[in-house]
A and B are shown apart, each in its own frame.
Chain A
């Protein structure tokens, strides 16, 4: 356990391993995204009540699911950097924020577009949508807060505290459709009990959820690599990297 922990604390190791993972994960992710989108758009049957507008589910649900999962990653990284002063956790937290913001934006935007033909409105201030909007502000808040400090150590601490405080929003998002009356439906895919979605629609949806998880991982690693290079520019390993291959 400890050797691995130490390795994760080593910037050159993290930079190299992230690059090695990306070399195969990024092409697979893009392929899965394209496959899932084409499948969902053109090769699934239409839905009885909503017609074809339901096809937005293949991007809306994965984006929302991973936007939430991404928040755990960001808050956990924030906690690790606060408690153990682990610099690489701070890098991960900073890298996760813009990706999470983008995914939350996708969830909100596709939800608004889906709402128009289905509910007759682009937007309602119901609990689910409002708490997702707060999630977007939390992500953007971390991005902005980091930039607001000149002292990056203080910035990291402030962002870690903000992301941890923001954790209270997560159960609210999960439970919002059960606790409050809402236009949103409850979960159709359940780990326990009956899943109320036909396999012809379930499989492409599961593929897209997996693809969005992979997308988050790729974007996180890409951001971490860029951030590592910038933070470690004065160190020997970056100088060595530069003399080896100038632009790669």
Chain B
């Protein structure tokens, strides 16, 4: 490692605030960019599965009514 201690790595010769803020915000943005579409797809799959189930129940009830 380039730095002698954890404190030196956090401080970065006085530039720690800038460097660590830049990296933190970048990591948050990367997480957002990856997680948002995954959540959107999952939510949608669940929603569609619910619709499918309701449709199946409705069909089952209809056929029973016809009998």
Rounded to whole angstroms, the CA-CA distance of A222 and B35 in the bound complex is 9
Scoring A41, A44, A52 by chain B CB atoms within 10 A of each residue's CB, the highest score goes to: A52
Q: Does B1 contact A (CB under 8 A)?
A: yes
Q: Of A51, A114, A246, which is within 8 A of B22 by CB?
A: A114
Q: Is the interface of A mostly helix, strand, loop or mixed?
A: helix
Q: Of B19, B32, B37, B46, which is within 8 A of A223 by CB?
A: B37
Q: Does A182 contact B (CB under 8 A)?
A: no
- Is B22 a contact partner of A229 (Cβ separation < 8 A)? no
Q: Does A93 contact B (CB under 8 A)?
A: no
Q: Does B29 contact A (CB under 8 A)?
A: yes
Q: Does B60 contact A (CB under 8 A)?
A: no
Q: Smallest Cβ distance from A199 to chain B, in angstroms?
A: 15
Interface residues of B in 3-37 (CB under 8 A from A): 3, 9, 12-16, 18-19, 21-23, 25-27, 29-30, 32-34, 36-37
Q: Does B41 contact A (CB under 8 A)?
A: yes
- Is A26 a contact partner of B34 (Cβ separation < 8 A)? yes
Q: Does B38 contact A (CB under 8 A)?
A: yes
Rounded to whole angstroms, the CA-CA distance of A121 and B8 in the bound complex is 25
For B, the interface residue count at a CB cutoff of 8 angstroms equals 34
For A, the interface residue count at a CB cutoff of 8 angstroms equals 46
Scoring B33, B36, B42, B49 by chain A CB atoms within 10 A of each residue's CB, the highest score goes to: B33
Q: Does A42 contact B (CB under 8 A)?
A: yes
Indicate with 1 or 0, residue by residue over A40-67, a CB within 8 angstroms of chain B CB atoms: 0111111000011101100110010000
Rounded to whole angstroms, the CA-CA distance of A43 and B26 in the bound complex is 19
- Is A102 a contact partner of B32 (Cβ separation < 8 A)? yes
Taking beta carbons and an 8 Å cutoff, which residues of B are in contact with A? Answer: 1-3, 9, 12-16, 18-19, 21-23, 25-27, 29-30, 32-34, 36-38, 40-42, 44-46, 48-49, 52
Some 18 contacts from A to B, beta carbons below 8 A apart, are: A37-B27, A41-B19, A43-B1, A52-B13, A52-B16, A56-B19, A56-B23, A60-B22, A102-B32, A113-B18, A116-B18, A215-B34, A218-B34, A229-B45, A230-B44, A233-B48, A246-B45, A247-B45
Taking beta carbons and an 8 Å cutoff, which residues of A are in contact with B? Answer: 26, 33, 37, 41-46, 51-53, 55-56, 59-60, 63, 98-99, 102-103, 105-106, 109-110, 113-114, 116-117, 215, 218-219, 222-223, 225-226, 229-230, 233, 238-239, 242-243, 246-248
